Amino acid sequence: MGLLSTAKLYLRRTSALEEPTDLYEHEIGLLEGGTLDLRELRGRPTLFVNTASKCGLTPQFAGLQDLYDTYGSRGLQIVGTPSGDFAGQELDDDAEIAAFCQRNYGVSFTITEKVSVRADPHPLWDDLARQPGSAPPTWNFSKYLVGGDGKLIARFSSRVAPDATQVTEAIEAALKPKGRFST
């Protein structure tokens, strides 16, 4: 997708939902084959990120991996979704994408198959964009934090680094046990 096609993406309007939906009611193909049933992630917060291998923001892979290394043992899931929607900045071949992520950034979190996240969005990405208080990705590395209940907690723009205070504070809050305490 070239720059003109990318510019046309911004003319497309996404209608927001009035009530949040359960974002874990989706399935998406995995980069190395098979399908990820997001219902398997229920009960744990998940950070969804649209990624690209040939973008100036690609070094955010390192920050995402650091988040996963820090919070993964406490339950945080990270799901990266390669997409060429923005100026065609993703490799075409799934094997090349997988090798790039592993070789350059040691990515061990989940990577889905390459899909559209804005031009003709995969149902998961259409649903993420339509949640109350959300919006479609505006560029590569937009981040969506979803709670263990499947509801969107926060959306962070591409310009917000994975280690930014607002991201780590939202993750910390999402990981806190939700229970009743007796006095």
Q: Which of 22, 29, 44, 55 is catalytic?
A: 55
Q: Is 55 a catalytic residue?
A: yes
110-111/77-82 β-pairing: parallel
Choose among 174, 162, 153, 183: nearest CA to 51: 162
Beta strands in 52-109 (DSSP E): 77-82
Beta strands in 3-117 (DSSP E): 27-29, 35-37, 46-51, 77-82, 110-111
In sequence order, what are the residues at sequence separation of 6 or more whose Cβ sits closer than 8 angstroms to the Cβ of residue 170? 145, 153, 154
8 A C-beta contact, residue 68 and residue 108: yes
Instruction: Give the Cα separation of 87 and 5 in Å (integer).
Output: 8
8 A C-beta contact, residue 162 and residue 64: yes
Catalytic residues: 55
